[in-house]
Structures are given as structure tokens and as C-alpha cells.
Amino acid sequence: MNQNTAHSHSEDGASHTSPVILVKELTKTYIMGETEVHALRSVSFSVNAGEYIAIIGASGSGKSTLMNMLGLLDRPTSGSYRIGGVEAAELSKDRMADLRNTQIGFVFQRFNLLARTTALKQVGLPLFYAGVSGRESAKRAAAALARVGLGDRLDHRPEELSGGQQQRVAVARALVNNPGIVLADEPTGALDSHTGSELLALFDELHAQGITLVVVTHDMGVAARAQRIITLRDGEVLEDRANFAGQNEALPAGPLSASIANGAQNGAAAHGSNHAQLAVGAAMPATAATGGNHEDL
Amino acid sequence: MKIFKYLGVAVESIRAHKMRAILTMLGIIIGIAAVLITVGIGSGTAASITDRIESSGTNLLTVSSGNRGSSSSAALTMADAGVILDATRFPTVQLAAPQYTSNATLTNGASAGSYQVMGTTPAYATMHGLDLNAGAFLTAAQVEDNENVVVLGATVATDLFGGQEPLGQSIRVGDALFTVTGVLASTGSSGFGSSDSMVYVPLDVALGRLFNVTRVRGSYTISGIGIQVKTQEDLDPTALQVEQVLRLRHGLGADDENDFSISNQADLLEMASDVSGSLSALLGGIGAVSLVVGGIGIMNIMLVSVTERTREIGLRKALGAHDRDILLQFLVEALVLCTLGGLIGIALSYSVAWGLGLIPGLSSTVVIEPWAVMLALAVSTGSGFVFGLYPALRATQLDPIEALRYE
Ligand SMILES: Nc1ncnc2c1ncn2[C@@H]1O[C@H](COP(=O)(O)OP(=O)(O)O)[C@@H](O)[C@H]1O
Ligand SMILES: [Mg+2]
């Protein structure tokens, strides 16, 4: 792992950081028999590496739909989604799977753990699909569990863990491959307020380590921790504003996690080789629109 | 081999869902065991029938009095038997034994029972290869002198004497006193016509003293004549020759039907294999039904778990699994379950076959044929495979989020 940061690849002086996520006029329409449901009408925004963003909005406003798009779990009806400078629509199924595996950590509201499977095995799953050997995998899974404070629960199955612990297993699983981006859809939705705030403290740490965080919530208390809050209504961005009350720019940006640096490095390497891993967080020309998004609202 | 990579995942998944795995395997186990046992009973019965016919002697022809559609039913006489016994007229005949069979009550003190009594000659024991447990079969002298002696089948001996020694004892056959001079070894077979439940007396004793059989043209009527020819090739020509001679002797015209019938061992074997063939088909049908039932069992448990499995597949995909990873995992899992279930099913059917073999009264055994094992394995494994792969094939088509949302 080198110590490069995303900054070092910014060839455009206009921006210090480059967008990891760039969404333009994204729409998603579900067709339910005769009627069309416009879950997303036209959503545009960008997220820079290391940002902590909250997406809020009423139930049914399209938050989950958007998150599933960002997590490459679903495909948009139209519009463009560039992740690390690569157009998602052009990715093959397997490349999308690889990106989900290595670049994105997804935390679900309902945890989505495998039944009757130990915490160590749950967390090892992304490593298995990344081709990491069994011994190495167990070591790294144990480390990830220790990172979320579950170092003494390796052999516990979901039914033997509390809700908060289950969600932390899910977070460990999201982190185990050192992704640059962590996406969480209502991660505190199924937790009581105490375990919820423990989880948020964990997110603060991830942010401090330089991971790009996008958290969907309808709880303003949760959103208040983020640097920036995007509000959705009826599948459109109602508001996109900086949140100075929450974590702010003054917070030390480094040390950036190895994964971000890794992503940036891959991006640099991508010129010379057709490396299978996609360059998330790679340098891409920052457009004026990216910066403009913040000021507009 | 990539497969081994997924073996761990498959075993993990089976262990995490023991009940589901057991229920799936149960379908396969039941299917395999049911087919193997039912088909095995069919094969075993066929084998024991053939065995019995073959062990009753080789190169045998049986002439019986009477025939379907014939009015005179007791036309076979001792005179007819005498002609067949004439070696100059029938050089292909090795042995011939006239027989008269009827029922009589046998009494030994307080024990009594009704048995089939056959009057015959020593040749009968030779051509049927009867083994003696004690004493001897009827001798030529005993037959010649019309002695009141009787040879008991093994079952009859136990019925009448229990644990006592029958040899030399006197018993009543009908009203007359007979001395037991021989006891046959048990053949293990039972039912009509088995030598175990018969008794044998000298031919003329049966015809005269015991049953006072009617005469035709001065000659006693008899129930049949057993004939053993010298070689197998002699069977058909001898049968034809006997038929012609008897038709002539019975004064039958060209349009008249035979008033006797001649059966040969090959016919019997053919008939038996016909019978056991249809028995096998019937039992095979029952086995096939069990196989379908087992298959439906597999399908049910798989369908019940489709939701759970679809969500699992969605999650695995969300975490980075390729479609190929999912398919291989499920393929290996189905393979492991089916192989395991198949082996248990085969082991189960072999132990049932072994257990049935221990039951003393049962004359036929369960014979598990290799082709039946292959068939049952193929069909059960096939159905386990298809139903095991079904959710995986469905779910790989879905986007991960759809699979995760699947209800
Ligand atoms: N798979 C789907 N099929 C049809 N309609 C859907 C589907 N998923 C979401 N929707 C609809 O899209 C809209 C946005 O849903 P969602 O993104 O889940 O909202 P949120 O997460 O903000 O509550 C809702 O009206 C919802 O009913
Ligand atoms: Mg939602």
C-alpha cells in the first residue's frame, strides 16, 4: 500500500479532491402493470473522496432506490452514474460484482446476515469472492470484527447476537475488503437509540480514516453527524447543503485509509494495464458542475 | 479443481441448514431404497422360482392325465406307463416314474393331519434329486412287495413327530398302519407341490390298498408319469413320440383333442419367467411411484427454501459473487446432498435385504441388481439436482437487489 492520497492525482487545479461518485440526471422508473412509478425523476450530485454525506427524505422519496444504484446493486432507467470515473452502465455484470466486492461496502437496514453462520464466516464472505485464501481470510475477518468491537464474538451466530451487534457484524463485513466507499441504508433503523449512537460513533471513526460515507436516514439526529445533507422529495433533490454543525472540513482529512490510496493508485496504474480492478477514487477531471452543485442550493 | 473451492461453502451451507439438508436427502433416500427393495423382491422371486424349477430335476417331461376341454379325465393308466418304460420303444427315456397322488389323513398318536400322498417308484427320487435326512427312499423291493412303508417330507415329519425320531415308527395313513422308512431333507420351499409337505408310498400300495383306484380296461388309472430323457435335445422329440403313442393307445381320432397333457421343464421355466417378469414390472411400477414421491418431497423442501435461498443469493451477489460462483456453489451442494442421500439409500436397501434374508419362513430373497442401483441413483440424483439448482438458476437472472427483496 502506498501513501498516495487522492489529492496527488488531481490534475485539475480547480478542485482539491475529485468526485468518487458523479450522478447526472439519474432516473429510475418501476413499471407496475399499467402504472409507472417514478422512484427517481432526475437526480444529479457528486461526492468527493472522504466526504460524509447524509441523504434524507420522507418514506417513499427514493432514498433506497438511489442507494441501490450507488451500490451497483441495481441499474438506473436513464442518466449517468460514474463511479471513480467509470460509467456504471458500461460495466459487465461480473465487473459490477467485483466493484461491489472490493470498492463498496454496503450496510443494510435489515443487516442481511446469513442465517446460522458465524460472525467470522459472515465477514469472510467478501474475501472468499475476492479469492483470498481461507487462513488469510480468517485473519482479516477477525481483524475487521475487532475493528467494530466484536473481537470476542467471532464464533457467534446472528441469533446469538443483539441487533446492535448484528449490525456491527454487517459493518465489519462491509469494511473487510477495505473499500473506499461505505453506503448505509437506514443503518440505525432497526436499532434502539443507544446502539444507534454507538454505530454512529463507529461511522465517525470511518470518516476520520478517510472513507467516503453515504448514509440514508430519516432521522435528523443521524443526518446531523454528516458534513453534507442531501434532501430528496418525490425522486428529486430538494436541497443539497453543507452541514457545519456536523463533522466539518476542519477535521483532519488524513491519514486516509489504505483503500482510498489503493483506489487512487489503481487509477494511476490503469493507464498502463487493463487491471481487472476498477479505479475507484481515481483522478477524473473535476467539472465545474461538480463544484456548482454545492453552491446552487 | 475450482470445485473444491466450493466444497467448503457447500458443506458450510449444509451444516448451517441441517434440517433442510436431511429433508432433501430423505426424498432421495426413500426413492432409492424403495426402488431397490421393490425391484429386488421381484428379482429375488424370479430367481427363486427358476431355482426351484431347475432343482426339481433336469431334462424332465411330465405327462398328466386329463386336459382342458377333454371329457374323459382319467384316461392315463399303468398300461400306458408300461409302454413308456419299454426301453426298446423309447430309447431316449432314461427314467420314468408313474405317479398317483391323493389326499389322506396321517395319524401318529395324538398328532394328525391331511397330507398329499404320492404313490410312486424309486425312479421318482432319482429324477428329482431328492435328498434324504434319515433312512432311504422307497426301494425297488418295497415297491415290488407292496410293503406298507412311507417316506415323509421334512415338514410332515416335524408336524407328526415333533422332536422325536420318526424312523422305524408306525403311523396310520388312512386306516392302514405304515412304517416310516425315510425322512426327506428339507428343501426350504413351501406351498403346493413342495416335497417338504408330501409323503411317498409304493405305487401299487397307493393304487390298491390305500385309494382303491378305478381301472380302465383292467389297468389302474394314474395321475401322471414323470419322464427323464437322456439329453436336453431329446426333450421335444420324446414328447412328440409319447403324444403319438398315447393318442393311438387311447383311440383318439384325428379331430379329437388329447385326453392328457405333456409339459416340459423348459415350458415351465418360460412360464415362470413370464410370471416373474410381470411381477418385476409391477413392483418396478410401485418403485417408480415411490421415486416420484421422493422427488416431490425434494421439490417441496426446495420450493419452501427458495425464498430463503434467493435472498441468500442476493446477498452473496451484493458481496461480490459472480453468477458462476453461485451456480457452482449450488451445483456442488446438490451433488454432495444427492451423493450422500444415494449412498444412504443404497446402504438402507442392502440392510433391508439382509434383514429379510434372516426371516426363516421367507423362501425368496431380495436380490439387488446393479442396473436397479444405477437407475435409482440416476433418477434420484437427477431430481435432487434439478430441484436443487432451480432456485439458483432463477436467482442468477435477478439483479442482486431484486434477489434481496424476493418474498
Ligand atoms: N421494486 C420496486 N417495484 C416497484 N416500485 C418500487 C420498487 N422499489 C421502490 N419502489 C417505489 O419507488 C418509490 C421509492 O421507494 P424507495 O426508494 O424505497 O423509498 P425510500 O427508501 O425513500 O423510502 C416508492 O414509491 C416505492 O413504492
Ligand atoms: Mg428505504
Q: What is the pLDDT of residues B37-79, one digit of tens each?
A: 888 888 887 777 777 777 666 788 989 887 655 455 557 899 9
Give the best residue of A63, A69, A74 to mutate against chain B (max B CB count within 10 A).
A74
Averaged over B78-86, what is the pLDDT? 91
The pLDDT assigned to A264 comes to 39
Lowest mean pLDDT among A135-149, A219-233, B162-176, B257-271: B257-271
B184 occurs within a structural domain = yes
What is the CATH number for A154? Answer: 3.40.50.300
Ligand 1: centre distance to CA A218 (Å): 15
pLDDT of residue B163: 82
Q: Note whether B126 and B235 are same-domain residues.
A: yes
Collapse the DSSP code of B99 into the 3-class scheme (helix H, G, I; strand E, B; otherwise coil) and give the result.
strand
Rounding to the nearest 10 degrees, give the CA dihedral for residues A114, A119, A124, A126: 50
Cβ–ligand 1 distance for A254 under 6 Å, the answer no
pLDDT at residue number B304: 76
pLDDT tens string B107-159: 998 889 999 999 999 999 998 888 899 999 999 999 999 999 999 999 999 99
Helix, coil or strand: residue B48: helix
CA B380/CA B392 separation, integer angstroms? 19
Domain boundary among B258, B290, B315: B258
Kindly tell me if the per-residue pLDDT of A267 is higher than 50.
no
Q: Which residue range is the domain that position B397 belongs to? A: 2-53+271-405
Cα–Cα distance between A188 and A218 in angstroms, integer?
10
Cα–Cα dist A207/A189, whole Å? 20
Give the three-state DSSP class for B211: coil
What does the mean pLDDT of chain A come to?
81
Q: Residues with Cβ within 5 Å of ion ligand 2?
A: A 64
Position B174 in a domain: yes
Question: Is B248 within a domain?
Answer: yes
With CB atoms and an 8 Å threshold, state whether A126 touches B319.
yes
Mean pLDDT, residues A245-252: 49
pLDDT (mean) for B183-188? 84
Residues B82 and B43 reside in one and the same domain:
no
- Residues B290 and B328 occupy one common structural domain: yes
In contact, A45 and A293? CB cutoff 8 Å: yes
Ligand 1 pocket: which of A27, A43, A56, A64 to mutate (most atoms within 8 A of CB): A64
Same domain for B119 and B24: no
Q: Which of B116, B137, B139, B115 is nearest to B128 (CA)?
A: B137
Last residue within a domain, chosen from B237, B258, B279: B258
- Closest of B321, B300, B299, B324 to residue B312, by C-alpha: B321
Note whether B122 and B224 are same-domain residues: yes
Cα A8–chain centre separation: 22
Q: Are A4 and A272 in contact (CB under 8 A)?
A: no
| Sign, CA torsion B311/B313/B317/B320 | positive
Pairwise CA distance, residues B383 & B27, whole Å: 10
pLDDT the model gives residue B362: 66
Whose CA is closest to atom 25 on ligand 1? Answer: A60
Is B38 within the bounds of a domain? yes
Place B268 in a pLDDT band, splitting at 50, 70 and 90. Answer: confident
Q: How many domains does chain B have?
A: 2
Distance, in Å, from the CA atom of B259 to the CA atom of B251, rounded to the nearest integer, reads 10
Same domain for B182 and B127? yes
pLDDT tens-digit series, residues A188-218: 988 898 999 999 999 999 999 999 999 999 8
* Amino acid at position B115, single letter: Y
pLDDT, tens digit (0-9, with 9 covering 90-100), for B295-348: 777 777 777 777 788 889 999 999 999 999 988 888 888 888 888 888 899 999
Q: Is the ipTM of this complex over 0.90?
A: no
User: How sure is the predictor about B191, in pLDDT bands with cuts at 50, 70 and 90?
Assistant: low
Counting Cα atoms < 13 Å in the Cβ hemisphere of B301 gives: 20
Say whether residue A219 is in contact with chain B using an 8 A CB cutoff.
no
Name the residue among A255, A247, A156 with its Cα closest to residue A200: A247
Query: How many CB contacts within 8 angstroms connect chain A with chain B?
Result: 61
Query: Considering B222, B237, B258, which residue would you say is the last residue of a domain?
Result: B258
Q: Give the mean pLDDT of A277-288.
A: 40
**Residue B355 CA: distances (Å) to CA of A122, B37, B348, B349:** 46, 12, 10, 10
For chain B, give the percent of residues with pLDDT over 70. 94
Distance of CA A235 from the midpoint of ligand 1 (Å): 10
Predicted confidence (pLDDT) per residue in B335-375, tens digit:
888 888 888 999 999 999 888 888 776 666 788 888 888 88
Average pLDDT over residues A162-167: 93
Distance CA B43, CA B359 (A): 18
**pTM attached to this predicted model:** 0.68
Pick the closest to residue B77 from B257, B229, B260, B206 (CA basis): B260
pLDDT above 70 covers what percent of chain A? 76
**Mean pLDDT of chain B, nearest integer:** 85
Name which of B388, B338, B336 is nearest B6 in CA terms.
Answer: B336
| Tens digits of residue pLDDT in B2-18 | 678 888 888 888 888 88
The residues, any chain, with a CB within 8 Å of residue A127's CB and separated by 6 or more, are: A136, A137, A140, A141, A176, A177
List the single best residue of A100, A111, A135, A171 to mutate versus B (max B Cβ within 10 A): A100
Shared domain for B396 and B344, answered yes or no, is yes
| Residues A20, A52: Cα–Cα separation, whole Å | 12
Which amino acid residue places its CA nearest to atom 10 of ligand 1? A39
Inspect the interface and report whether the beta carbons of B321 and A97 lie closer than 8 Å: yes
User: What residues contact residue B351 under an 8 Å CB cut-off, 6+ apart?
Assistant: none
Q: What mean pLDDT do residues A57-86 have?
A: 95
Q: Is the dihedral of CA B57, B60, B66, B69 positive or negative?
A: positive
Confidence of residue B384 (pLDDT cuts 50, 70, 90): confident
Residue B199 in grid coordinates: 409323503
pLDDT higher than 80, residue A133: yes
Average pLDDT value for residue range B182-203: 81
Q: Do A115 and B17 touch (CB under 8 A)?
A: yes
Asked if B320 and A100 come within 8 Å (Cβ–Cβ), the reply is yes
Q: What is the pLDDT of residue B147?
A: 94
Q: pLDDT digit string (tens) for A12-58?
A: 444 445 799 999 999 999 999 999 999 999 999 999 999 999 999 99
The verdict on B87 and B226 lying in the same domain is yes
B265 lies in a domain? no
Cα(B218)–Cα(B221) distance, rounded to whole angstroms?
9
Count CB-CB contacts under 10 A for residue A246: 18
Closest CA to B32 of B295, B283, B342, B286: B342
B/e letters for A68-95, b = 16+ CB within 10 Å, e = fewer, are bbbbbbbebeebebbbbbbebeebeeeb
What is the domain extent for residue A256?
A: 48-73+92-289
For residue A211, being part of any structural domain is answered with yes
